[in-house]
Copies of this chain bind each other. A is one copy, B any other.
Amino acid sequence: MAHIITEHEVLAVVFQVRVPASADTDGKPALHVLLWQRALDPERGRWSLPGGRLGADEDLTSSVRRQLAEKVDLRELAHLEQLAVFSDPIRVPGPRTIASSFLGLVPSPATPELPSDTCWHAVSDLPPMAFDHGPMVEHARIRLGAKLSYTNIGFALAPDEFALSTLRDIYSAALGHHVDATNLQRVLERRNVITRTGTTARSGRSGGRPAALYRFADSRYRVTDEFAALRPPG
C-alpha cells in the first residue's frame, strides 16, 4: 500500500439564531451559519467554513479553537463539538486532505465583530459553497436538531436569561418547525434543564403580561434523555 502525504484540516459549522438583517422575512429569527468568502483560487468567490490545517502539536479541538479565533471572539462560543470526518481522496484539489467537521454554537443576542470577508448566512438560503462545505452544513444542522431533543444543548443558543417565548423562537428556528412554548417549558423543566430566575421581564411594546425569566440550569453539555426505548429496568 502506497503512502503519500496526507493533510488534515478542521472545519467548523458555527450556528447562531438571528433575526435576518434584511426585512425579507417577517422578523422571525432564523438559523444562521458563519461563512467567509474566498478571495483566491481555488473556488474563488465561493463561501467557506472557517477552519484550516491541523498544526503539529495540537489536537483537533485546540486546532479548531485557534482557527476560529481569527473569525470570531471565542468567548462568544458557548459550545464546540466534533461531528464527522470527510475523507474522500478527491474532496479538495491538491494534496489529499481529510477534514473533521465541528459544530459550534453562539448564543442568540451576541453580535461578535467579524472580519470583512466573513458574515452570517441563513441556513435556509445558503450562497454558493466551496468544496464539500454545503453538505457539512446540512449534516451539522441535522445533528443540532437531534441533539436539541435529547440534550441540554439549547443553553449554547440562548441568552443567559430569557422569556419562554424567546426560547421557543430559538428552538423553532433551529428545529425548523413550530414549537409550543407551553410544552417546551414542561419538557425542559421536568428534565431540570431550565429553572426560573424568579425575576420577570418588562412587558413588551404592545402590552401583555410580563414574562417570567428562565435560565439553563447547566451550561455544560449534558445528555438529558438518553433512552428513546429499551431503557434499563428500574
Contacts and interface: CB of A to CB of B under 8 A. Distances in A.
A5 B5 contact: yes
Name which of A87, A150, A180, A187 has the most chain B CB atoms within 10 A of its CB. A87
Contacts of A60: 85, 87, 98
Interface in A156-198: 171, 175, 177-180, 184, 187
Nearest to A5: B5
A53 B3 contact: yes
A230 B88 contact: no
Nearest to A53: B3
Question: Copies of this chain, how many?
Answer: 2
Interface of A: 1-8, 53-61, 66, 82, 84-85, 87-89, 96, 98, 100, 146, 148-150, 171, 175, 177-180, 184, 187, 225-233
Nearest to A171: B230
A3 B82 CA distance: 22
Given A89-B56, A100-B85, A148 B230 contact: yes
